[in-house]
Chain A
Amino acid sequence: MATANMLLLNPLANAASEPAKETPIEIELVRSVLEGDRDGFSKLYHLYSPLVHGILLARVPRAEVDDLVQDIFLHAFKKLHTLRDGAAFGPWIAMIARNRAVDFHRRSRETVEITDDLRGSDKQEARAAEILELIRSLPHAYRETLVLRLVEGMTGPEIAVRTGLTAASVRVNLHRGMKLLREKLGFTEGL
Chain B
Amino acid sequence: MNDDYLWDKSGEPDPQIQELEDILGALRYQPRPLKLDGSLSARWRNYVALLAIAATVAVALLAGSVWLNIRSEEPSIPAVAYVAPAPPIPGLPLSVSTPLVPKRRPLIRVKHDDQEALAAKQQLMFALRIASEKLNTAYRRTQTPSQIKNQHKAG
Contacts and interface: CB of A to CB of B under 8 A. Distances in A.
**Do A and B interact with each other, yes or no?**
yes
A182 B3 CA distance: 13
Given A70-B35, A107-B153, A128 B146 contact: no
A24 interface: no
A139 interface: no
A153 B42 CA distance: 35
A191 to B, nearest CB: 6
Q: Which of A132, A150, A178 has the most CB of B within 10 A?
A: A150
Contact of A151 (B8, B25, B31): B25
A85 interface: no
Interface size class of A (residues with CB under 8 A): 35 or more
A124 B26 contact: yes
Contact of A174 (B3, B21, B25, B42): B3
A37 to B, nearest CB: 12
A74 B7 contact: no
B111 interface: no
B2 to A, nearest CB: 10
Nearest to B144: A74
A152 B28 CA distance: 5
Interface string B1-43: 1010011110000111100110111111101101110010110
Interface residues of B, number: 34
A153 B7 contact: no
A127 interface: yes
A73 B146 contact: no
Interface in A93-135: 107-108, 124-125, 127-129, 131-132
B26 A125 contact: yes
A175 B25 CA distance: 20
Contact of A74 (B17, B25, B36, B153): B36
A79 to B, nearest CB: 8
B155 to A, nearest CB: 12
Q: Which of B28, B35, B42 has the most CB of A within 10 A?
A: B28
Interface of A: 38, 41-42, 45-46, 49-50, 53-54, 57, 62, 66-67, 69-71, 73-75, 77-79, 107-108, 124-125, 127-129, 131-132, 149-153, 155-157, 171, 174-175, 178, 181-182, 187, 189-191
12 contacts: A41-B36, A42-B34, A46-B31, A50-B29, A57-B27, A69-B32, A78-B42, A128-B26, A131-B20, A131-B23, A151-B27, A189-B1
